[in-house]
Amino acid sequence: MSKTSEERIKIYLSTLSKHKNKILKERRIKEIMGRADISDADMENIEKHFLKIYDRARQLERAGDFAHSLRELDAVYLYSLHNKSLFTLFFNLYKRLVTEINTKDTNKKLIHVSLQAREFGIIDGVDLREYDEFSKLKQRILVLLLSFILISVIAFITYRTVYPFIDGHEYFGDLERDIKEPVVQGLPSVTRASDLIVESANLIGNPNVLYYVEVESAKVLVFEDSHTYQLKAGVISSKDSIKNISYSITVYDDLGKPILNKVFEKKSDFPNKWNRGVYVPIDFVYNVSKGISSHPKKMVLDIRLIEFFKDVNDFSGINLETSSSILTFKYLGSYFHESFEIYEVNSLIEVYNSSSDDVKDLEIEIIYVTKDSQVIRSLKRKLISESNSFLKSRSRQVFSLKTIFPKEIYANIKEELSSIKIINVFVK
């Protein structure tokens, strides 16, 4: 006898609940859906229920009842796992509510939800630096502890092996002078950082009239059982808005032999994102999961191809008022992408650093507003962190703020959205 949609959904959610405290991969979720024989109609029912509860939680949030809103949202966590767009909605609201409530228990739950978001490839707004650093610290302590135990065992075995010869010195007096007390040496450093010589090359003929490259630094970080290459650089257009950059990075050892070569691409879907004079960051981080056997000396950045947008309207943008005395913000417009039951809005903000110092950490709080200055929604966005490129002194960068708007709640967002306002700036 075939099961009803309600029964299939109940089986699916029951199976998921057994793994609620684990970080689930998309493949595992699909397997559970397959075993429960979930159909497209079932998925629609799941999504309708999620959006209904999500809307109720949003209403409670607007009313200031954050605890009740979080309880409502917690109830539909499992309903969001099969769909990345739904989970993004869940995650963004969950973060805001936890920020408002700010208890030890809710912050602990947020770490789990953030880990699940990172598993789904959602990195915008995910801040797990403290968690990652603590995990690395635990791992290093474990390695040190195991190393100490191993050294102690070796020392004990050595002592047991040598002791009979020491104890029998009346028969082996000559040997006694050759036996030395074992010396336990200190463990090697866990990491080592070395700067690399950096060079920039152009594989495009006569590029100077089109763009120029600024190279900041290159390093190799050597760990106990792996090593990582890092490069911070940027490309700046001298003429037209950049559409696509193809580049390669090559690392050479002290004998001039290439030991690593990678090719990458950066693309912009928005004509006014990388305008003339805007710093396009090239942040290269590549980890090799084995010990280093060579001696890296030089890193070369080769610009292989640059494409430009043609006939782009020169839109200067709208200046945004903020409390910052060193940063200037401009709103460059918003682009809409429509998909199943959601609008994806990409809003472009240009930031200029007028100070003499580099900005290494930047977070803003913004609100989306209508033509008559009504607030649509508010959110926080991390634009720059220590893990990615910094904003250089006297330079400008453009950031894309991606935000999801459910159609059921924001049916007329394309017509209503007029601009954004920045209400807080957090800079280091």
Q: Give the pTM.
A: 0.51
Burial class (CB in 10 A: 0-12, 13-18, 19+), 254: exposed
What's the one-letter identity of residue 243?
Answer: K
Is residue 256 left, alpha or beta, with left meaning phi > 0 and alpha meaning psi from -120 to 50? left
Question: How far, in Å, CA of 209 to CA of 186, rounded?
Answer: 56
The first and second tokens of residue 370, run together, are 């209508």
pLDDT for residue 252: 92
Q: Indicate the length of the chain as a whole number.
A: 428
Q: Does residue 169 register a pLDDT over 50?
A: no
- Contact between residue 200 and residue 213 where contact means Cβ atoms under 8 Å apart: yes
Task: Give residue 199's pLDDT band: very low, low, confident or very high (50, 70, 90).
Answer: confident
Residue with tokens 């998309």: 26
Q: Does residue 112 register a pLDDT over 70?
A: yes
> Which residues lie below 8 Å from residue 124, measured CB to CB, with a gap of 6+?
381, 402
pLDDT for residue 110: 83
The first and second tokens of residue 174, run together, are 């000559």
pLDDT digits (tens, 9 = 90+) for 5-28: 888 888 888 888 888 788 888 888
Reduced to 3 states, what is the DSSP secondary structure of residue 132?
Answer: helix
Query: What's the distance, CA 396 to chain centroid?
Result: 22
Q: How many other C-beta atoms lie within 10 A of the C-beta of residue 4?
A: 10
Please compute, for residue 317, the number of CA atoms within 13 A of its CA located in the half-sphere on the CB side.
Answer: 21
What's the one-letter identity of residue 127?
Answer: D
Q: Which of 331, 339, 263 is nearest to 302 (CA)?
A: 263
Mean pLDDT of 248-259: 90
Mean pLDDT of 272-299: 85
Reduced to 3 states, what is the DSSP secondary structure of residue 45?
Answer: helix
Q: In 220-246, which positions are buried (b, 16+ CB within 10 angstroms) versus exposed (e)?
A: bbbbbeebbbbbbbbbbbeebbbbebb
Question: How far, in Å, CA of 293 to CA of 412, rounded?
Answer: 59
Question: How far, in Å, CA of 124 to CA of 401, rounded?
Answer: 9
Strand 192-195 with 242-253, pairing: unpaired
Q: Does residue 281 register a pLDDT over 50?
A: yes
Question: How far, in Å, CA of 412 to CA of 289, rounded?
Answer: 49
Question: How far, in Å, CA of 2 to CA of 243, rounded?
Answer: 53
The first and second tokens of residue 227, run together, are 């090593």
262 strand-pairing partners: 249
**Domains observed in the chain:** 5-124 (no CATH), 192-308 (2.60.40), 327-427 (2.60.40)
Q: Which of 13, 48, 5 is nearest to 32 (CA)?
A: 13
Q: Does residue 308 register a pLDDT over 70?
A: yes
What's the one-letter identity of residue 51?
Answer: L
Q: Give the range with max mean pLDDT: 72-81, 159-168, 199-208, 337-346.
A: 72-81
Of all residues in the chain, the percent with pLDDT exceeding 70 is 83
